[in-house]
Amino acid sequence: MATNYLIGRGELLVDSKEPPAMKPSKANPYTVDEARSRLSPQLESAIAEISESEIAPDDVYVAKFALHPSYVAKSYFPSVLFQAAGLEPVGSRGRRIYPEKHTGKDSDGKEFGTSEIFVAGRLEAFQALHDLMVAPSELPDRYSQIREIEEITSFQPKEKVKAGNGSGPKATYELVVHLPSFSLAPNNRLAFLEYARDLGFEVREDLSFEVQGLWFLPAVGPSERLNEIAAFSTVRVVRPMPLLSVQPAPRTMTGEQPITLPVGQVQSTAPRVAILDGGLPAEHAIGTWVDLYREMDPTAKSSPGYEQHGLAVASAFLFGGIRPGASPAIPPSNISVFRVLDGSTASDDSFELYRTLGHVEEVLLTKSFEFINLSLGPALPIEDDEVHAWTALIDDLLSDGATLMTVAVGNNGRLDHASGNARVQVPGDCVNALAVGASDRADDDWARADYSAIGPGRAPGVVKPDLLAHGGSSEDPFYVIGQGEVPYISGVTGTSLSAPLALRHAVSIRALLGTELSPLAIRALLIHGADQKKLDRREVGWGRIPMLYDQIVTSGDGIARVVYQGVVNPGKYIRAQIPTPRGGLDGKVRFHATFCFASAVDTHSPDVYTRAGLEIVYRPDTDKFTKEAKTAKSAPFFSSAAFATEDELRSDNGKWETVLKGSKNTIGSSATNPVFDIHYVAREEGGASKAKEPMRYALVITVEAKKHINLHTEILDAYPNLLVAIEPDINIEIDSA
């Protein structure tokens, strides 16, 4: 049987499409007058509370406006109302609410998810809005969006303080501050720093990060004054500083075994790969494959434990899981190693979490590497209502889709599931990185390793981990190179190893097939090729990647796999053909599809975190219409249940996911001209966006039709001047690492 590699240039099967007819306007649960009557006393109470209890820079306060659940879609964001009132939305978060009235059937008395918007403004602006609401005259049209608001409340200091173990006069905290526009609050930063110092807090502005309207600052101060610092009006969160999660992988009882490494060979010298970790010990056996070694803080001493961790991570990328008695696999490429963890990290430095993030940022900002692994981060399970500085910064720097970064999800999977303590750890909730958990075995009889953190992630980004890769267990350890100039292997376990193993697959694909595949396309291929085995998605994400990476890029008889790498402009509609042979498809057919894109993010609005979304409609035959319909019949393809709860589905959260994966069984005669209609929707801070930049996407489609033994060739023949086979750049022996 011939080896059929990927079919490329699927984007040439994509054409622009006219937008469909607009849907009629929706029913409103409240009239404008009803909204005025309901909300005016709420706003009056909020004004009284914030003016009495908060310290406000430039007389700017923050209140909370909760949307009615019917209006959480981005097209209903009340931007006109806020602009008319002289108020400024500075962020949002999800919350649960019981609306007083609802337009849906059987909705009375039910709880729904909605968006709670943080709104900044001068006290006089809030008061002017209240005066308009209680005035006898008719409310001007520009204020009509007031009926979209379900509730107005103050933002109390006690809400901002997160529970934790920080206590005493010198506890360490993370302070998160909203950044309204300079025209509204020009003295916000300086006033906060002065106020914090007056309360006895040492705020390290030099280690702070500003990401998309939020200011993240590390600080040391007295725990008894937390409510006072939270009383500063633009403070959003005060929480204990988490520790770094970088425990060296535990050794199993396997002993040490000598090994012979390949002599200076790599599959390709072209890929640019960075390992961000604890560095390497002075004596090790992998120097042949290290192009660059850099200590991000040369003044800091090394930490032997972190160096061993860094060596294990580097070994996992270079050789995969080494099997005792077998020759190690040839590395896919050389690596650059950056020591972002050092002796100061191990010395319990209160601010080291932020120093380490600064080192990570410095590497990412160089844009020198297309492939990066990060097997460390805060020992902090993700939260649904807030985004951590690590996640915010990394997602922001990866938003162009030019870098594939694998991130370990954490080894906290044995902790209590119900409390959320076993959920993926920061930054495993990144929507622009590939979050990798661990399987317990390398063979087909695998399951999630019990230590591997579980999902769900935050919505959007709800499917976390993205993937599993072998991470080892006591029954099937992951063997890595140990410290010393004479190479030997020992068995270890951890998601710190599964993440670089997944990156190894990605770089092996690049080494095999060359630069025709972008990092975004390779990310889509990894997810597309993952096998979920009908296991719980909260535990395994989209599934485990194959142990043989050639299974991702090759196909057998009756199968063809096509890669699309294209761009789409905001608000535009495109139509992607699903390729079929000239005479159509016969018999039973199965389509698999995976969409993947990178998105800019709104850090201050975790409930509407991603700024880009895709509305995708599958149409089996563009020539078949229902009676009086103006568009061809559609059919389900991507299961929305994978992404959201019932009310999140209603609020359109599913389309804001950066990964969509689904499949469809059909009959060839029912899919004579199948297509995906794709609409790129852009939003900003939950509302409509003015963005004009095109978004890059990757789409992988696999067509299976057993009656077409030569399906790969038939599809290439059907599109002779469009589709091409992506042939290997090199001849290598596929390994099973």
Q: Could you give all domains of the chain from N- to C-terminal order, each with its CATH number?
A: 4-19+553-725 (2.60.120.380), 32-155 (no CATH), 171-240 (3.30.70.60)
Does 249 have pLDDT greater than 60?
Answer: no
Q: What is the pLDDT of residue 243?
A: 81
For 222-354, strand residue ranges (E) read 235-240, 257-258, 273-277, 290-295, 335-339
- Tell me which DSSP letter residue 23 carries: P
Q: Are 281 and 342 in contact (CB under 8 A)?
A: no
Give a three-class secondary structure readout of 92-159. Answer: EEEEEECCCCCCCCCCCCCCEEEEEEEEEEEHHHHHHHHHHHHCCCCCCHHHHHHHHEEEEEECCHHH
Task: Give dist(CA 459, CA 409) in Å, integer.
Answer: 17
Torsion, Cα of 318, 320, 325, 326 (10° steps)? -80
CA distances from 570 to 271, 467, 595 (A): 31, 29, 17
Per-residue confidence at 164, pLDDT binned at 50, 70, 90? low
* pLDDT tens column, 635-656: 999 876 555 444 444 445 568 8
Residue 277's closest CA among 301, 250, 303, 307? 307
Strands 335-339 and 290-295: parallel
What is the residue type of 581?
P
List Cβ neighbours of 472 (8 Å cut-off, separation of 6 or more).
249, 252, 321, 438, 440, 449, 478, 491, 492, 493, 494, 497
List Cβ neighbours of 514 (8 Å cut-off, separation of 6 or more).
270, 726, 729
**Span 675-687, average pLDDT:** 82
- How many CA atoms lie less than 13 Å away from 203 in the CB half-sphere? 25
For the chain, the C-alpha Rg in angstroms (whole number) is: 27
**Span 168-177, average pLDDT:** 87
**Span 117-134, average pLDDT:** 96
pTM of the model: 0.93
Q: Across the strands, what pairs with 381?
A: 425
List Cβ neighbours of 232 (8 Å cut-off, separation of 6 or more).
54, 55, 57, 177, 191, 192, 195, 196
* pLDDT tens column, 422-434: 999 999 999 999 9
Per-residue confidence at 244, pLDDT binned at 50, 70, 90? confident
Higher pLDDT, 510 or 246: 510
CB atoms closer than 10 angstroms to residue 350: 16
Structure tokens at 686: 């939950």
What size, in residues, is the chain?
737
Does 251 have pLDDT greater than 70?
Answer: no
Does 272 have pLDDT greater than 80?
Answer: yes
Percentage with pLDDT > 70 across the chain = 91
Q: Are 472 and 316 in contact (CB under 8 A)?
A: no
Structure tokens at 222: 């007295």
Could you give the maximum distance between any two Cα atoms of the chain, in Å? Answer: 88
Per-residue confidence at 253, pLDDT binned at 50, 70, 90? very low
Does 736 have pLDDT greater than 80?
Answer: no
Report how far Cα 430 is from the mean position of its chain's Cα atoms: 3
**Residue 308 phi/psi, 5° resolution?**
-65, -40
Does 476 have pLDDT greater than 90?
Answer: yes
Does 617 have pLDDT greater than 80?
Answer: yes
Residue 304's closest CA among 480, 489, 484? 484
Q: What is the pLDDT of residue 624?
A: 87
**Span 85-106, average pLDDT:** 88
Q: Are 127 and 48 in contact (CB under 8 A)?
A: no
Per-residue confidence at 361, pLDDT binned at 50, 70, 90? very high
Residue 638's closest CA among 597, 592, 587? 592
Q: What is the mean pLDDT of the chain?
A: 90
Q: What is the pLDDT of residue 167?
A: 61
